Amino acid sequence: MRILLTNDDGIFAEGLQTLAQEIKKIAETYIAAPDHEQSATGHAITMHRPLRAEKVKYRHSPELAAWSVNGTPADCVKLAVEALLPQKPDLVISGINRGANLGTDVLYSGTVSAAIEGVILGIPAIAVSLAEYHNPQYDYAAAFIAYLAPIFAKQAKKEMLLNVNVPGCPAEQIKGVSINRLGVRHYKNPFEERTDPRGRTYYWLAGEIVDIKEEKDTDVAAIKEDKISITPIQYDLTDYAMLESVRKWRIDLQGGG
C-alpha cells in the first residue's frame, strides 16, 4: 500500500512527523506538505505563480521521500499525485492537525481540503485532527490512524473521505469511537478591532466557539464526550432534498417562457 501524507500546519509540524513515523510501519510512505502553516486556507489552489517543491529530510525518518511545497494543502496533494510521486497513492492522509476540525469548520479547513483534493483525484482519503491546541500529544492519534488506514483502504471507494477527530485527553481516558454526522459551530464576536502604532485600525480574527446545536449524534458531541469522532463527508454540496422543490418554481429565461 502506498500512502501520501500531507497537512496544513507545515512540512515540519510535529503532528505530521509523528504520523509519518507510524504510517511508514504499514505502507510505502510519501510526504508533500506546505513550506509554512496554511491553516484555514480552505480549498485554494495556486494559479498565478509557480509552485516549487524542495526535497527535505526528517532526522527520524531520512529514508522517506518528502517535499516542501510553496503552496496550499490542496496544491501539495495535486502536485504530488500528478508530478512528484512515481505512482498514484492508494490513500491520502492529511494531518495530524493541531486543533479540532469539527462541524462547519471543515469548510475552512486546509487539513480537510487537502484530503478532499485526494478524493477529487480518485483517491480515498482521511483527514485527522487532534482536539487540543495548547499542549498536543500526537502519539495515540498517530497510532489510531495507522490502525484505521488499512481497514479503510480495504473498504473504501475512490470518492470516500473520513474526517477524524481525536480527543486531546490522555489515551486511557478516551471512551470509544463514534461514527456520526457533522455538528454546527459558530463564533461569537470573531473579529477584534485594534489600533497599530501609527493609529490605524486593523482587525484580528479571534472570538469564542459557540456550538449551536447539542444533538448527541454529531462530531462536536463526540469530542465533548471524549470519544474519537469519525464522519464520512463529501465534496458534493448539492442539496438533493431541495432539487425537486426548486424545479417546481418554473424558472426560465426572463420573458422567454
Q: Which domain holds residue 84?
A: 2-183+214-247
What's the total number of domains in the chain? 1
Residue 33 lies in a domain: yes
Residue 188 has a pLDDT of 78
Residue 214 has a pLDDT of 67
Residue 90 lies in a domain: yes
How far apart, in Å, are the Cα atoms of 140 and each of 61, 99, 127, 172, 179?
19, 15, 16, 10, 19
Cell of 220: 462536536
Residue 232 lies in a domain: yes
Residue 192 lies in a domain: no
Residue 209 lies in a domain: no
Residue 255 has a pLDDT of 59
Residue 85 lies in a domain: yes
How many beta carbons lie within 10 A of that of residue 61, not counting itself?
15
CATH code, domain carrying 108: 3.40.1210.10
Cα distance between the two ends of the chain: 56
Residue 147 lies in a domain: yes
Single pTM value for the model: 0.93
Kindly tell me the burial class for residue 40, based on how many C-beta atoms sit within 10 Å of its own C-beta (0-12, 13-18, 19 or more). Answer: middle
Residue 193 lies in a domain: no
**Can you give the pLDDT of all 257 residues of the chain as single tens digits?**
999 999 999 999 999 999 999 999 999 999 999 999 988 889 999 999 999 999 999 988 999 999 999 999 999 999 999 999 999 999 999 999 999 999 989 999 999 999 999 999 999 999 999 999 999 999 999 999 999 999 999 998 888 999 999 999 999 999 999 999 999 887 777 888 999 999 999 998 877 777 665 678 999 999 999 999 999 999 999 999 999 999 899 888 775 55
